[in-house]
Amino acid sequence: MRVVAQTGAGIITNQGAYPDPRGEGKAYWRQVAIYDDRFLPEFEVIAGYIHEQKAVAIQQLLHCGRYGGIDLGYCVQPSAVPQTLPHFRPPREMSREEIRTTIAEYAAAARRAIKAGFDGVEITSFMGYLLANFNSRFTNRRTDEYGGSIEGRARFMVELIYAIKEAIGDDHPLCARLNGAELMDRYGGNDEEECLELMKIAAGAGVDMISVTVGWQESPVSSIARDVAPGHWNYLAARAKKAVGEVPVAFGVRLPDAGMADHSIAAGEFDFWEVCRPFLADPQRLHKLAENRPEDIKPCIGCMLCLSRLFRDLPYLCTVNPALGHEVEPVYHPAPAVVRKNIVVVGGGPAGLECAVTAARRGHRVTLCERRRRLGGQLSLLVDRDLANRSDLAQLTGYYAAQVAKLGIDLRLDTAFSAEYYRQKCPDTDVVVLACGSAVDRTRWSALDPAGVLLDAVSAVPPGPRVTVLGGGKVGLVTGEYLAQNGCRVTIIEEGRRLAEDVMPTWKWRHTAWVEELDIDVVTGCRVAAIGPESVRLVDRQGRETVVEHDSVAAATPRVPENGLLTALEFAVDELYIVGDAVSPRGLYQAIHDGYRLGVRL
């Protein structure tokens, strides 16, 4: 939290603490509690960190409702509406007495937060938590005073606001995070007009600020991932600002760009820019902006790794910030090199770029060799083909290109590195880092492909209107989706039982949706028995054969490391290392983390 306090933000909200001693509001193993005074010392430390940096300290109070009860085996809601996601607990309907008890627990928790030194508190309906459960038609089907009309469904929120305001007084602000859009239309949730009306009710009840959020955990459409373009939801904040009068509006959903936020504030669309995940990617982004160094800001790419970890009760990780969570460990921070070395990094993909940049920051002389005519490796191919918002990934490659130039790294593009090249062109080298990435191993299919029709999905776009893609992992999915969007009739063949086994958990559903939207045919649980010029013959686990006709075939699996230089250079250089997919084909965050961890200790 000390790192967060040092970001330069003017208002800092601490993570949501559950207010009830039963644990019905607890959704994550590591979620903090604030239902007893014995927790106050830790909150006092956090408030102190924030105040040291002259920022306003806000404590979020978070009863997770439908998603809570992680230690109990059940959850509580206004109505016992069944879960749509099987990993959540069975629901129990709250009685009137339980509702009143919950409101009292919230008020006591708010008073406790102020006692710990926080300036104000926040309640939230973000992601479909208890406040959202009462507000929404989907989960509130009560027929008493806490249900029915929008005023009835809002009664819990209004009573909560009154109770907290009485508990903390007018000198301490109360913020409410409310949905501008639930994205729960499929289940009969609130529409945008009802969401707007709830904000008006909250404003009338006396909240001091409204934070506009989007979506539930169960929402079947995306809200904050990189398939949503930055600025897409700004209109919700602008509508809220017009609706709630003088009450300040905060907003930051899928808004990682400071320039866009500044323009929106100047246009009166909202009053405060909320920055969450972009601070995980680069905690120093505001300071770099103030110093007119935007090229030094590492972009948040909206990949959702942080939430993939959170939802599995693990500490945050960030794809582009390997130091996240390790801020107090000196080994994770670049320090001036004791001995300045001549380092050659082979491969301009994410692992090689991160290693080269980190080593150069330490004062080493770095040469970066890349066989292609541009930086990025397979990341650049993803920028070309991915169906999500490509500008996020392009910003990441642009960041690395700017750092390579700024740090004086000797960049050699269009360079096929070999043992001979090393001997002739890299004199006085102390260290070689192999970051050569991975490739599809076509030798696996050679015996099945006598006609030679198989193409590499990574490096070649197959011709013809009907394309069979071998492999339903992320390489095969991106390839198939790209081709289908461009008019091809695509069939994806996966030997395993499921697609997307190597895809980040919070992104699997997106590929599933694209496969359905693009009408891609999928065959799982079958092995390829033969590849012909016009068809592929498949055999399932029961020995039954299937034939898939095609004009071309693209191999997206198996991926194998490109590490042939390891043996060739073993006795040619003092220090030899290997990072990224050249060790084992994995993903973007593993490549960047590999490169960084090596760069900080070379």
What CATH number corresponds to the domain at position 447?
Answer: 3.50.50.60
Bridge partners of residue 527, in order along the sequence: 539
The radius of gyration of the chain from alpha carbons, rounded to an integer in Å, stands at 27
Q: What is the DSSP letter of 201?
A: H
User: Which pLDDT belongs to residue 16?
Assistant: 96
User: Which pLDDT belongs to residue 460?
Assistant: 64
Angle at 174 between CA 170 and CA 175, to 5 degrees: 150
User: Which pLDDT belongs to residue 565?
Assistant: 95
Same domain for 447 and 416, yes or no, is no
Same domain for 571 and 547, yes or no, is no
134-180: pLDDT as tens digits = 999 999 999 999 999 999 999 999 999 999 999 999 999 999 999 99
Report the distance separating Cα 461 and Cα 455, nearest Å: 8
CATH of the domain at 23: 3.20.20.70
Same domain for 344 and 361, yes or no, is yes
Contacts (Cβ under 8 Å, ≥6 apart) of 443: none
* Structure tokens belonging to residue 432: 């070689």
User: Which pLDDT belongs to residue 238?
Assistant: 97
Same domain for 422 and 524, yes or no, is no
Domains in the chain, number? 3
Mean pLDDT of 510-525: 96
In a domain, 299, yes or no: no
Task: Reply yes or no on whether the pLDDT at 103 is more than 90.
Answer: yes
Contacts (Cβ under 8 Å, ≥6 apart) of 343: 356, 359, 364, 365, 366, 367, 429, 430, 431, 432, 433, 602
Closest Cα partner for 63 from 2, 96, 117, 21?
21
Q: What is the DSSP letter of 59?
A: E
Mean pLDDT of 283-311: 92
User: Which pLDDT belongs to residue 469?
Assistant: 95
Question: pLDDT-based confidence at 535, cuts 50/70/90?
Answer: very high
Task: Reply yes or no on whether the pLDDT at 462 is more than 80.
Answer: no
Same domain for 172 and 39, yes or no, is yes
Task: Reply yes or no on whether the pLDDT at 456 is more than 80.
Answer: yes
Mean pLDDT of 60-72: 97
Q: Which is it for strands 559-561 and 438-440: parallel, antiparallel or unpaired? A: antiparallel
In a domain, 294, yes or no: no
Quote the domain boundaries for residue 446. Answer: 440-560
Asked which of 208, 230, 252 is the last residue of a domain, the reply is 230
CATH of the domain at 353: 3.40.50.720
In a domain, 323, yes or no: no
User: Which pLDDT belongs to residue 506?
Assistant: 84
Task: Reply yes or no on whether the pLDDT at 403 is more than 70.
Answer: yes
Four-residue CA torsion sign, 281, 284, 286, 291: negative
Task: Reply yes or no on whether the pLDDT at 458 is more than 80.
Answer: no
User: Which pLDDT belongs to residue 23?
Assistant: 98
In a domain, 284, yes or no: no
Helix or strand holding residue 548 (H, E): strand 545-549
User: Which pLDDT belongs to residue 314?
Assistant: 82
User: Which pLDDT belongs to residue 402?
Assistant: 98
Closest Cα partner for 376 from 580, 601, 569?
580
227 touches 203 (CB < 8 A): no
User: Which pLDDT belongs to residue 446?
Assistant: 87
Same domain for 176 and 106, yes or no, is yes
Asked which of 192, 211, 230 is the last residue of a domain, the reply is 230
Report the distance separating Cα 391 and Cα 469, nearest Å: 26
In a domain, 517, yes or no: yes
Question: pLDDT-based confidence at 126, cuts 50/70/90?
Answer: confident
Cβ of 520: how many Cβ atoms within 10 Å? 22
Same domain for 461 and 344, yes or no, is no
Helix, strand and coil in the chain, % to nearest 5: 35, 20, 45
* Structure tokens belonging to residue 577: 């290392």
In a domain, 530, yes or no: yes
303 touches 504 (CB < 8 A): yes
Report the distance separating Cα 44 and Cα 39, nearest Å: 9
In a domain, 293, yes or no: no
Same domain for 524 and 450, yes or no, is yes
Report the distance separating Cα 53 and Cα 32, nearest Å: 23
Same domain for 84 and 187, yes or no, is yes
248-283: pLDDT as tens digits = 999 999 999 899 999 999 999 999 999 989 999 999
The alpha carbon of residue 142 and the mean position of all alpha carbons in its chain are separated, in whole angstroms, by 35
Task: Reply yes or no on whether the pLDDT at 401 is more than 80.
Answer: yes
Asked which of 529, 544, 560 is the last residue of a domain, the reply is 560
Helix or strand holding residue 540 (H, E): strand 535-540
In a domain, 291, yes or no: no
Mean pLDDT of 39-62: 97
Same domain for 417 and 487, yes or no, is no
Question: pLDDT-based confidence at 367, cuts 50/70/90?
Answer: very high
Mean pLDDT of 42-64: 97
Same domain for 479 and 382, yes or no, is no
Mean model confidence pLDDT for the chain: 94
Task: Reply yes or no on whether the pLDDT at 470 is more than 90.
Answer: yes
Task: Reply yes or no on whether the pLDDT at 532 is more than 90.
Answer: yes
Q: Which is it for strands 489-494 and 466-470: parallel, antiparallel or unpaired? A: parallel
Task: Reply yes or no on whether the pLDDT at 5 is more than 90.
Answer: no
Question: pLDDT-based confidence at 453, cuts 50/70/90?
Answer: confident
pTM: 0.93
425 touches 569 (CB < 8 A): no
Torsion angle of C-alpha atoms 85, 88, 93, 98, degrees rounded to 10: -140
Phi, psi of 225 (to 5 degrees): -90, 180
Task: Reply yes or no on whether the pLDDT at 311 is more than 80.
Answer: no
Report the distance separating Cα 83 and Cα 139, nearest Å: 10
237 touches 264 (CB < 8 A): yes
Q: What is the DSSP letter of 39?
A: G
Same domain for 448 and 585, yes or no, is no
Closest Cα partner for 216 from 226, 224, 208, 204?
224
User: Taking the CA of residue 456 as centre, how many other CA atoms within 13 Å lie in the half-sphere pointing to its CB?
Assistant: 12
Report the distance separating Cα 383 and Cα 375, nearest Å: 12
What percent of the chain stands above pLDDT 70? 100
Question: pLDDT-based confidence at 461, cuts 50/70/90?
Answer: low
Q: What is the 3-state secondary structure (H, E, C) of 238-289?
A: HHHHHHCCCCCEEECCCCCCHHHHHHHHHCCCCCEECCCHHHHHCCCHHHHH
What percent of the chain stands above pLDDT 90? 86
